[in-house]
């Protein structure tokens, strides 16, 4: 299939974009892309490709932007229930403790997720995956983390594998047993860390080989934060995971700086995420590494907090910056990477071009998929989106609605609307 | 038709909600609404209404919230072109003068709108109206203001009447010739004010009688702001309009406080809109009047400005607070009142219930339609929406996506998605 006559084709070709090089769109006016099966075979000016492939069936993209599918490299996709009541209590000025007393907080989601019927959990999660896809996300990372015991965490990982198998949204799973301290270990992060290190992580590779044979191992993530896991606990968890050959991620510096970003860089983690309270020294450490800095602007927005990721400092230092939604029931129930882009323009001061690169090729790097997805280049997976606008800058400029008209996943075209 | 079994029916009954009374949803669990033709005949618990109307054809709203259609009382719906390039320039740190030199600013929209073919202008505007409707707005105010001469302003008013006649979005038109100083009057706000007062406003009533016979007169609005129209010019324009029997609106205190809010209150304007730099004295004046204070949080959000409408002070003073999108190409291209609600929760510290009341019954009051729309009460117009969630607080809690599944306008049900 030859998708042709796009007002603008954005290829994002050339690999992940470091520091101030962020924002190279590879823009081709009146562009075309040839796909065959699940793969991109060619991309370039429509005139050239129409001559080169005169007998290829066409898809007219006149008046539209054609670009890589959006990649969302940080989501907590799989949970049951909601925390809408907690949101209202917070607006009414209730304290964290009052919210906990009213049954709110992360452990309320753990309770609901543990208790959910598997089919119901899957159905609730599927609705979110469908919303993400409809808004142009073709691949998303998705974490466990609302199970918090061996059986429940592996059940969530299994749900993610099932949803991935269903498609069309492709899922890169992450194992996050160290998301919170479960009710069975009240005030005992140390005891739960031992369970993670001594039982949960050791069980993972064998479980994975039997449930997802041949697939690359999942990421292991940890919430390094006051009230969650200390730097030292985080280090033990991540070092144990690394010793088992598992690729690493970390939640760092969301509310307090415990040193998680520098830890991620020193351990060769694939990404360090949140990075709100990150220091200049941490930023230097990240920039000197291949660890991708993942900004999650929906989280401060969702909480109405004033501080956002110091994205400009990360770019100045030469870091690799990506964007993600942080989709979760506590702070950021937002399935739309288009909204993440609009928010990043305003709160991180990214241009639309920078935000788009951070949400495609750099987001793919944040899940180690940049050789397969995140750009339109020969040999890559045919994951593309069409926007119903003729100028890419409408992404960012406009907000609160969905500009995507078609999503092409592994070569199959889905109409949106 | 009996719409029944809604998880929550929000009636918003009882008229506009002043001050701290804002947020009375009239929530009925397992609720039902009986509509006939264009009109609401009854509302109450499903059990009661099913017994009362056993032979009425049903629409099952299980698992959904049923509530009045959203009302958007401040939009600049009708324009041609876009300002996406200007958005990028601003993010790159370009000054207002550099943006003007690059062809940006409000006058670029005036140029594009004047030059647009009528059919093209209508088509572009229709797409936005459709997006608003899809996101649950059943009635919207819409302003002229990108014509800025007699002929062009009346042409825009005519476009709004045409779109209203097409439906399904119902439009309450506003005449806003004093939106900016046109290129024909460089630096001469005084000269253009004379044109507005001596030629444009006097022409309006006769034009209206021939183009919209029998319809209530349109609102007249003015942009009272540094760089636009002074307080004295605004007063002359509004007094002239009032003398002709036209209801009044004002853009006040968006960037500077020129006294527009107090002017609006003293003239008995229907609404005063923006109200960011509004003083405590102005708030008192508004609260002592029937002028509705319309907050437009998308505008500071769109511009990434930190200051928002002092909504809490307006509520404390006993004012009538409404929400609107300010949909326009310069600062806020957002068709979704759902996003306005989500933003208002975070930036104005409204609860979801308060934001919903401000976007329905109070928004109806801001266009003098609160006796016809904005709530679910016997005899009112059958404008309702269904949300694909079982708890109204998902409005506000979730952001960046569309929760509406069906829009019912004048009794006709439109599926969304």
CATH of the domain at B49: 2.30.40.10
Indicate yes or no: CB of A352 within 8 angstroms of CB of B91.
yes
List, as own/partner pairs, every contact residues A272-279 make where C-beta atoms lie below 8 angstroms and the sequence separation is at least 24, other chains included: A273/A74, A273/A249, A273/A324, A273/A326, A274/A299, A274/A309, A274/A326, A275/A309, A275/A310, A275/A314, A276/A300, A276/A307, A276/A308, A276/A309, A277/A253, A277/A307, A278/A252, A278/A253, A278/A309, A278/A310
- Together in a domain, A198 and A324: yes
A398 and B333: CB-CB below 8 Å?
A: yes
- Report the predicted TM-score, pTM, of the whole model to 2 decimal places: 0.98
Express each pLDDT in A130-148 by its tens digit: 999 999 999 999 999 999 9
Q: Is the pLDDT of residue A305 over 80?
A: yes
**Exposure on the CB side of residue A385, measured as CA atoms within 13 A:** 30
Of A345, A398, A401, the CB nearest to B91: A345
Give the closest of A298, A391, A400 to B336, CB-based. A400
Query: Do residues A238 and A264 share a domain?
Result: yes
In B11-126, which ranges are E strands?
27-36, 39-45, 58-60, 65-68, 70-72
What are the distances in angstroms from CA A380 to CA A42, A59, A172?
10, 19, 17
Ordered mean pLDDT values, 10 residues apiece, chain B (417 residues): 98 98 98 98 98 97 98 98 94 83 88 97 98 98 97 97 98 98 95 97 96 96 96 98 97 96 98 98 98 98 96 98 98 98 98 98 98 98 98 98 98 93
Asked whether residue B199 falls in the same domain as residue B343, the answer is yes
The answer for residues whose C-beta is within 8 angstroms of residue A298's C-beta and 6 or more apart is A325, A326, A327, A331, A332, A334, A339, A340, A343, B399, B400
Q: Under 8 Å CB-to-CB from A203, ≥6 apart: which residues?
A: A150, A154
Contact A346 B301 (CB under 8 A): yes
Contact between chains at A351 and B92 (C-beta distance less than 8 A): yes
Q: Closest by alpha carbon to A215, among A264, A273, A157?
A: A157
Chain B residues with CB within 8 Å of chain A CB: 82-85, 87-88, 91-92, 131, 135, 298, 301-302, 304, 333-336, 338-340, 345-347, 349-353, 391, 393-394, 396-402, 417
B301–A88 C-beta distance less than 8 A: no
Pairing mode, strands B27-36 and B39-45: antiparallel
Instruction: With CB atoms and an 8 Å threshold, state whether A88 touches B398.
Output: no
Beta bridge mates, B206: none
Helices B260-267 and B280-287 pack at an angle, to 10 degrees, of 20
DSSP-based three-state secondary structure for A266: helix
Whether residues B22 and B42 fall in one domain: yes
For residues A382-391, give the mean pLDDT: 98
Q: A407 and B407 in contact (C-beta within 8 Å)?
A: no
A251 in the same domain as A389: no
Angstrom CA distances, B335 to A352, B321, B328, B330, stand at 20, 20, 9, 14
Identify the residue among B88, B297, B298, B401 best suited for mutation to test binding to A, counting A beta carbons within 10 A and taking the highest: B401
DSSP β-bridge partners for residue A34: A2, A42
Distance (Å) from the alpha carbon of A393 to chain B's nearest alpha carbon: 6
> Do both B272 and B139 map to the same domain?
yes
**Residues of chain B positioned with their CB less than 8 A from the CB of A397:** 82-84, 87-88, 333
**A349 falls in which pLDDT band (50, 70, 90)?**
very high
H or E, element range at A337: helix A337-347
> Considering Cα of A85, then A86, then A89, then A91, what sign does the dihedral take?
negative
Contact check, Cβ <8 Å, B397/A91: no
Q: Domain range holding B32?
A: 2-69+374-415
- pLDDT, position A104: 80
**Chain A: which residues have CB within 8 Å of chain B?**
82-85, 87-88, 91-92, 131, 135, 298, 301-302, 304, 333-336, 338-340, 345-347, 349-353, 391, 393-394, 396-402, 417
One domain, residues A84 and A233 = yes
Residues A11 and A49 in one domain: yes
Taking alpha carbons only, the member of B339, B345, B348, B337 closest to residue B314 is B348
Q: Give B416 to chain A, closest Cα distance, Å.
A: 8
For residue A335, the chain B residues in CB contact (below 8 A) are: 400-401
Helix, strand, coil shares, percent, chain A, to 5: 40, 25, 40
**Residues of A whose CB is below 8 A from B90:** none
Distance between A391 CA and the closest CA of chain B, angstroms = 8
Calculate the average pLDDT of chain A.
97
Contact criterion met (CB < 8 Å) for B391 and A84: yes
| Consecutive H or E run containing B252 | strand B249-252
CA R_g for chain B: 21
Residues of chain A with pLDDT > 70, as a percent, come to: 100
Tell me the nearest-neighbour CA distance from B72 into chain A, angstroms.
Answer: 15
pLDDT at A357 over 90: yes
Is residue A96 over pLDDT 80?
A: no
Tokens of A214: 């041949």
Domain of B349, CATH number, reads: 3.20.20.140
pLDDT at B337: 98
Query: Hey, is A261 helix, strand or coil?
Result: helix
CB B137 within 8 A of CB B72: yes
Task: Give residue B369's Cα distance to chain centre.
Answer: 12
Cβ pair B290, B91 in contact under 8 A: no
Rounded Cα–Cα distance for residues B31 and A407 (Å): 38
Q: For residue B16, what are the contacts with CB-CB under 8 A and spacing of at least 6?
A: B292, B320, B361, B362, B364, B365, B370
Q: Which two tokens stand for residue B228?
A: 């636009």
| B-chain residues near A391 (CB < 8 A) | 82, 84-85
Q: How far apart are CA B401 and CA B414, in angstroms?
A: 18
- Name residues whose C-beta falls within 8 Å of residue B7's C-beta, 6 or more positions apart in sequence: B29, B30, B61, B62, B63, B64, B65, B390, B391
Q: Which residue of B has its CA nearest to A132?
A: B401
pLDDT band, very low/low/confident/very high, at A101 (cuts 50, 70, 90): confident
Note whether B399 contacts A92, CB cutoff 8 Å. no
Closest by Cα among A287, A256, A288, A247 to A274: A256
Instruction: Note every long-range contact of A309-313, with CB atoms under 8 Å and residues 24 or more positions apart, other chains counting.
Output: A309/A274, A309/A275, A309/A276, A309/A278, A309/A348, A310/A275, A310/A278, A310/A283, A311/A344, A311/A348, A311/A349, A311/A350, A312/A348, A312/A349, A313/A280, A313/A283
Residues B19 and B121 in one domain: no
Q: Of A345, A290, A304, A305, whose CA–CA distance to A323 is shortest?
A: A345
Q: At CA A167, angle to CA A162 and CA A173, rounded to 5?
A: 50
CA–CA min distance B382, chain A (Å): 25
- CB A358 within 8 Å of CB A321: yes
Which positions in chain A touch B400 (Cβ < 8 Å)? 135, 298, 334-336, 338-340, 399-400
Residue of B nearest to A304 (CA): B346
A364 within 8 A of A374, measured Cβ to Cβ = yes
Q: What is the DSSP letter of B404?
A: E
- State whether A399 and B333 contact (CB < 8 Å): yes
Rounded to the nearest angstrom, the gap between the alpha carbon of residue B35 and the centroid of all alpha carbons in its chain is: 25
CA dihedral A306, A133, A169, A129 (to 10 degrees): 60
Do A83 and A171 share a domain, yes or no?
A: yes
For the four alpha carbons of A255, A256, A257 and A258, in that order, the dihedral sign comes to negative
Task: Tell me which chain A residues have a C-beta less than 8 angstroms from the C-beta of B301.
Answer: 346, 399
Q: Are residues A272 and A228 in the same domain?
A: yes
User: How does residue A405 score in pLDDT terms, banded at 50, 70 and 90?
Assistant: very high
Set of chain A residues whose Cβ sits within 8 Å of the Cβ of B135 = 400-401
Please give the tally of structural domains in chain B: 2
Q: Are residue B54 and residue B115 in the same domain, yes or no?
A: no
User: What is the nearest CA distance from A329 to chain B, expressed in angstroms?
Assistant: 9
Q: In this structure, what DSSP letter does residue A291 have?
A: P
CA–CA min distance A403, chain B (Å): 10
């Amino acid at each position: 299939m030859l998708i042709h006559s796009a007002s603008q084709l954005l290829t994002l070709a050339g690999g992940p974009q470091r520091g101030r090089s962020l924002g190279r769109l590879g823009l081709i006016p009146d562009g075309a892309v040839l796909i065959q099966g699940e793969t991109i075979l060619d991309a370039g000016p429509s005139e050239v490709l129409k001559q080169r492939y005169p007998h290829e069936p066409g898809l007219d993209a006149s008046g539209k932007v054609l670009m890589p599918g959006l990649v969302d490299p940080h989501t907590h996709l799989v949970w049951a229930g909601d925390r809408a009541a907690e949101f209202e209590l917070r607006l009414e000025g209730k304290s964290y403790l009052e919210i906990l007393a009213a049954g709110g907080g992360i452990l309320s989601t753990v309770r609901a997720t543990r208790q959910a019927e598997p089919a119901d959990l899957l159905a609730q999660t599927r609705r979110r995956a469908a919303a993400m896809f409809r808004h142009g996300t073709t691949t998303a990372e998705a974490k466990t983390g609302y199970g918090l015991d061996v059986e429940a965490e592996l059940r969530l990982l299994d749900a993610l594998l099932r949803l991935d198998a269903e498609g069309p949204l492709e899922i890169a799973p992450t194992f996050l047993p160290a998301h919170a301290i479960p009710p069975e270990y009240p005030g005992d992060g140390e005891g739960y860390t031992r369970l993670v290190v001594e039982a949960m992580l050791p069980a993972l590779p064998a479980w994975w080989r039997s449930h997802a044979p041949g697939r690359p191992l999942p990421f292991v993530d940890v919430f390094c934060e006051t009230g969650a896991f200390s730097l030292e606990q985080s280090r033990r968890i991540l070092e144990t995971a690394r010793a088992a050959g598992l690729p690493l991620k970390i939640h760092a510096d969301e509310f307090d700086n415990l040193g998680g970003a520098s830890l991620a860089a020193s351990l060769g983690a694939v990404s360090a995420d949140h990075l709100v309270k990150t220091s200049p020294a941490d930023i230097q450490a990240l920039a000197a590494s291949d660890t991708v800095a993942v900004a999650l602007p929906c989280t401060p927005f969702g909480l109405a907090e004033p501080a956002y990721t110091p994205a400009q400092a990360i770019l100045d230092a030469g870091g690799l910056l990506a964007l993600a939604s942080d989709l979760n029931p506590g702070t950021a129930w937002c399935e739309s990477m288009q909204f993440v882009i609009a928010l990043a323009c305003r709160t991180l001061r990214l241009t639309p071009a920078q935000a788009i690169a951070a949400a495609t090729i750099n987001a793919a790097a944040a899940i180690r998929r940049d050789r397969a997805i995140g750009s339109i280049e020969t040999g890559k997976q045919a994951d593309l989106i069409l926007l119903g606008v003729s100028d890419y800058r409408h992404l960012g400029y406009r907000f609160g609605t969905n500009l995507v008209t078609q999503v092409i996943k592994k070569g199959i075209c889905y109409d949106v609307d």
